């Protein structure tokens, strides 16, 4: 019988996260203080993050031990399964072998708990009482709310307005886990009130919601801030995905020629690909690595590689990344987790080094691919993950055209069970493609901080 599923025993959960930074041929640009424009110090970050995470953010160690209590929680759903998509391969009539690492098996339904759990744990160790955060589609908010519940922390979530209205079930899940949820922009912060004064109808953005959560954390000594993507320590925590996949591909007796992931802030993509890129840098294997982003928010394919703020109100440090400008508010397409103006500095740096590629796909193409995938494999992907599926589809069809066998591995980073309104709209023919918002992006890029390169 053909094998569909590659499972690792519980004791094969990785014991350490993999930090790609020391293996890179050139170090990434430093993070700068927004006032002095000098590299930030750990002390600058302490009001927002616990020292355990700040140390990881700047670490030069290739391996960072996963705390025992974190591994205990991981055990509930890790190691996650690796599947071979045999029925989808057949439906596509492609010679390619397609594998997917399925992160929808976590209780919150995505890869996000891989970092929510350690973030809550490190905060608990250092006496934090409450975490404030932002969420787009609600995947991150629900993951952090769950992790806070596990470790007895309070959780405050600013949820991007358009998702708050489109995805009421995610909000209900966060509240069930005990979190307090407000639509962003809200009237609870100066940043939110400022946006509402200028744009009373604002549908919000991750950049605005980040400003609100950072502001709350900065003003309260017992509250710290938590981010679900973008930062080095978040990408680090996600490497459990790729480390497991390395072993599982070995079980399958294959090695990927192409690795694909969708990119919002870059964490699920990095989690799967960094361990493979690390091996490539050490001369082992040579996969192409493809990031897939939405055409309506194309930071990697249309953005500028420059220092920018991580948020709209300019409260965060300056990071060098591919950005569309911190004031850019993307159109309200359904992949809420991909509506961020920037890309993780590490992913940006890897693109700049030529170690990865990036493509953009339209909303309708991503849903069409996701629905075909569901009909073949049974799992309905999250709208974000549909972008990865569309990227894989392209690669599989290219393999067919060229008549070559090729092994493709992708991150199926979450299921879409909380995103059914998006599928209702898609099935009713109500979803549309969005033009690349060139004018708004030009305007937002014109506002990039001057004098830093």
Where on the chain is the footprint of ligand PLP (CB under 6 A)? 110, 112, 139-140, 229, 262-269, 337-338, 382, 384-385, 413-414
Q: Are 211 and 189 in contact (CB under 8 A)?
A: yes
Nearest approach, Cβ of 60 to ligand PLP (angstroms)? 23
| Cβ 171 vs Cβ 138: under 8 Å | yes
CB of 400 to ligand PLP, least distance (A): 27
Alpha helices in 126-259 (DSSP H): 139-151, 161-166, 168-176, 190-198, 206-219, 232-252
What is residue 326's DSSP assignment?
A: T
Tell me which long-range contacts 431-436 makes (C-beta under 8 A, separation of at least 24): 431/334, 431/363, 431/364, 431/367, 432/363, 432/364, 433/295, 433/296, 433/362, 433/363, 433/364, 434/295, 434/296, 434/331, 434/333, 434/362, 434/363, 435/296, 436/295, 436/296, 436/298, 436/302
Please report how close the Cβ of residue 225 comes to ligand PLP at its closest, in angstroms.
16
268 versus 366: smaller Cβ distance to ligand PLP? 268
Nearest distance from residue 370's CB to ligand PLP, in Å? 12
Complex with ligand PLP: residue 241 or 399, whichever CB lies closer? 241
- Distance from C-alpha of 179 to C-alpha of 202, rounded to nearest angstrom: 24
For residue 240, the SS3 value is helix
**Positive or negative CA dihedral for 146, 147, 151, 152?**
negative
Which is closer to ligand PLP, CB of 98 or CB of 413?
413
- Of 351, 363, 377, 348, residue with least CA distance to 436: 363
Which residue from 167, 162, 215 is spatially nearest to 187, judged by alpha carbons? 215
Residue 445 CB, nearest approach to ligand PLP (Å): 21
The nearest distance, CB 263 to ligand PLP, in angstroms, is 5
User: Which CB sits closer to ligand PLP, 274 or 399?
Assistant: 274
Closest distance of CB 80 from ligand PLP, Å: 13
Of 357, 327, 39, the closest CA to residue 205 belongs to 327
Determine the 3-state secondary structure of 168 from DSSP. Answer: helix
Nearer to ligand PLP, 214 or 300 (CB): 300
Q: Minimum Å distance from CB 336 to ligand PLP?
A: 8
Euclidean distance between the first and the last CA atom of the chain, given in angstroms as a whole number: 57
Helices (H), 353-419: 363-377, 383-402
Is the CB of 94 or the CB of 184 nearer to ligand PLP?
184
Nearer to ligand PLP, 214 or 382 (CB): 382
Nearest-approach distance from CB 163 to ligand PLP, in angstroms: 11
Output phi, psi for 260, to 5 deg: -130, 140
Q: Which is nearer to ligand PLP, 97 or 101 (CB)?
A: 101
The CA distances from residue 370 to 125, 265, 309, 363, in Å, are 41, 21, 33, 11
Which lies closer to ligand PLP via its Cβ, residue 388 or residue 399? 388
Of 214, 237, 218, 212, nearest to 346 (Cα)?
237
Min CB(384)–ligand PLP separation in Å: 3
- Judged by beta carbon, residue 239 or residue 267, the one nearer ligand PLP is 267
Among candidate residues 362, 263, 363, the one with its CA nearest the CA of residue 303: 263
């Amino acid at each position: 019988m053909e094998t569909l599923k590659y499972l690792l025993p519980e004791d094969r959960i990785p014991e350490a996260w993999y930090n790609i930074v020391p293996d890179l041929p050139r170090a990434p640009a430093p993070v700068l203080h927004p006032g002095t424009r000098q590299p930030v110090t750990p002390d600058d970050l302490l009001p927002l993050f616990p020292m355990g995470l700040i140390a990881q953010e700047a670490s030069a160690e290739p391996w960072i031990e996963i705390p025992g209590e974190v591994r205990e929680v991981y055990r509930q759903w890790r190691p996650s399964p690796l599947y071979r998509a045999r029925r989808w391969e057949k439906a596509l009539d492609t010679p390619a072998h397609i594998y997917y690492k399925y992160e929808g098996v976590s209780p919150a339904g995505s890869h996000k708990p891989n970092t929510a759990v350690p973030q809550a744990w490190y905060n608990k160790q250092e006496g934090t009482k409450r975490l404030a955060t932002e969420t787009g589609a609600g995947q991150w908010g629900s993951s952090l709310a769950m992790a806070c519940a596990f470790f007895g922390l309070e959780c405050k979530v600013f949820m991007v307005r358009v998702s708050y209205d489109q995805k009421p079930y995610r909000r209900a899940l966060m509240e069930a886990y005990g979190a307090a949820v407000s639509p962003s922009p809200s009237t609870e912060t100066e940043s939110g009130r400022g946006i509402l004064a200028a744009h009373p109808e604002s549908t919000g953005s991750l950049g605005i919601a980040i400003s609100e959560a950072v502001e709350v954390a900065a003003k309260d000594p017992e509250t710290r801030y938590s981010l679900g993507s973008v930062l080095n320590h978040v990408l680090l925590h996600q490497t459990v995905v790729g480390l497991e996949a390395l072993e599982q591909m070995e079980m399958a007796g294959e090695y990927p020629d192409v690795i694909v992931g969708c990119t919002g802030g870059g964490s699920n993509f990095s989690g799967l690909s960094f361990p493979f890129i690390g091996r490539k840098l050490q001369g082992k294997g040579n996969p192409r690595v493809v990031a897939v982003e939405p055409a309506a928010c194309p930071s990697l394919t249309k953005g500028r590689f420059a220092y920018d703020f991580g948020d709209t109100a300019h409260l965060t440090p300056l990071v060098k990344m591919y950005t569309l400008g911190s004031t850019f508010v993307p159109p309200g397409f359904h992949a809420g987790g991909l509506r961020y103006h920037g890309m993780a500095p590490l992913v940006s740096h890897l693109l700049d080094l030529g170690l990865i590629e990036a493509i953009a796909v339209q909303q309708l193409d991503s849903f069409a691919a996701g629905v075909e995938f569901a009909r073949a494999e049974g799992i309905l992907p999250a709208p974000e993950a549909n972008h990865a599926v569309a990227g894989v589809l392209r690669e599989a069809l290219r393999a067919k055209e060229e008549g070559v066998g090729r092994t493709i591995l992708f991150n199926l980073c979450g299921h879409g069970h909380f995103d059914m309104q998006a599928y209702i709209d898609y099935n009713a023919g109500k979803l549309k493609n969005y033009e690349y918002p060139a004018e708004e992006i030009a305007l937002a890029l014109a506002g990039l901080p001057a004098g830093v390169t």
